[in-house]
Amino acid sequence: MINRIAILLICLSAAVVTVQAQEKPETPSLVGSWEGPLVIGRDSTNLAFTFSMSDGEYTAALISGGMGIYGMPADTVIINERKIIIRIPRLDVEFTGTARLDEAEENIIRIDGDWFQYSEMVPVVLLPVDQPTF
């Protein structure tokens, strides 16, 4: 009798895990370019990240004509569901953001984030663009 109960519990727990896995929506792809204004004090410049996928991992490059940066690769790119972390230590830069989805939750419409550099934090909103502005 105990063996039957144990088998039943194992089967039920496997069914619950299967249902939970099916309910979790897949996050849409970030591949492409995302751009927005970076305003520090009175200065404003465009900031863009171009995301690519390589061997199942995201890579990102920073583009900002105002800073004289034209494709600097990020050292660290972490994507956890809709949370994004990009680090470029040689510039003392960390960008953290959240991908915002459309109502159908099928497409990313913007990335709401924060640009951290030299102990300063600046909010940034990135929108999808065909090509970053140089």
pLDDT tens digit sequence for 94-120: 999 999 999 999 999 999 999 999 989
Q: Is 1 exposed, middle or buried (0-12, 13-18, 19+ CB in 10 A)?
A: exposed
What DSSP letter does each residue of 59-91 carry, written as one string?
EEEEEEGGGTEEEEEPSEEEEETTEEEEEEGGG
The listed range with the strongest mean pLDDT (17-21, 38-42, 124-128) is 124-128
- Count other Cβ atoms within 10 Å, centred on residue 91: 15
Contact 114, 97 (CB under 8 A): yes
- What's the rounded mean pLDDT across residues 72-86? 96
**Is residue 20 over pLDDT 70?**
no
Contact 22, 113 (CB under 8 A): no
Q: Please state, rounded to an integer, the average pLDDT across all residues of the chain.
A: 85
Which one-letter amino acid corresponds to residue 54? S
- Output Rg (C-alpha) for the chain, integer angstroms: 20
The full set of domain ranges for the chain reads 32-129
CATH architecture assignment, domain 32-129 = Beta Barrel (2.40)
Residue whose token pair is 């502005």: 133
Which one-letter amino acid corresponds to residue 70? Y
